[in-house]
A and B are shown apart, each in its own frame.
Chain A
Amino acid sequence: MVGSLFSRDLFRELDLLQREMQGAFGISPSIRGIARGGFPALNVGNSPQAVHVYAFVPGIDPSAIQVEIEKGVLVISGERSLEAPTGGERSAVHIDERFSGRFRRVVSLPDDVDPAAATAAYRDGVLQVQVPRREAARPQRINVQ
């Protein structure tokens, strides 16, 4: 009984409620996703072939992003340094919202993936990591004779 009280559906309901309230009050979620874990913001999706992770990490040299998989956990880490204001004494910073410094985000992967076959690509400031599922775990169609 206790188990069902904390079922996934409750969290889904809460999440839905939160999003509805944001919509009702016209609050746009921060692109940095501060409330939900920080920089970079992450989206995760599943397909029958692979697990897809999208990390929104703009303005960084791809070689400065580390992507590691260890014991079923995907770790995305690195450092983002921003442009310093130019113009010396006469310069002023009016708005300072963009993330700078070291970052690290973690995604736990399902058991049926093959970490050795993972690939990562960086384009337009989005890092896309694909971790394929093991051949045996993919859905298979069985012909009826």
Chain B
Amino acid sequence: MNQNTDVSPDAAREASREPALVPAVNVHEDASGITLYADLPGVSRERLSVEVDGDTLSIEGELALELPDGLEPSYAEVGRRRYRRVFTLSKELDRAKVSAALNQGVLTLRIPKVEHAQPRRVEVRVS
């Protein structure tokens, strides 16, 4: 067996286990769906991953700062390079129609409700 093939799955698992920052989020719900905003400063579009797997929504991003040569950190409040946060989606949300936008370090996710879960007005007739 090739040793490299043994190493890479382990390395991938190791990366997902690496301690990560928990981004601050806001979650708003309206009649047609849910909007999630997440603060991910330092994450560019290429280094962001939003995944829906079954009921699980996971947001992961990697911080990429332009650090000059010879930089010595003297004080750090952001001490990790990854962000990760996982949410569980409820049944009435439409996994296939999740849309995402990243703007100036803020991720906006829109998760619509499936058609039949949207509120319908039932008319009450006077007989």
Contact = CB atoms under 8 A, between A and B. Distances in A.
Interface string B79-115: 1100100000000000000000001111010000000
A125 B65 CA distance: 11
A83 B107 CA distance: 12
A48 B70 CA distance: 7
A86 interface: yes
Interface of A: 19, 23, 26, 28-33, 36-37, 40-50, 52, 54, 56-60, 82-83, 85-87, 90-99, 122-126, 128
A125 B104 contact: yes
Interface residues of B, number: 47
Given A86-B28, A94-B28, A98-B24, A125 B19 contact: no
Contacts of B108: 83
Give the dominant DSSP class at B's interface: loop
Interface of B: 19-32, 34-35, 37, 39-44, 64-80, 83, 103-106, 108, 119
21 contacts: A19-B79, A31-B83, A42-B77, A43-B76, A44-B75, A45-B73, A46-B71, A47-B70, A52-B68, A56-B78, A56-B105, A58-B104, A59-B37, A59-B39, A93-B27, A94-B34, A96-B26, A98-B25, A124-B41, A124-B43, A125-B105
A47 B77 contact: no
A59 B69 contact: no
B106 A23 contact: no
B19 A49 contact: no
A95 B25 CA distance: 7
Among A29, A33, A43, A82, the one with the most B-chain Cβ atoms within 10 Å of its Cβ is A43
Contact of B75 (A29, A43, A125): A43
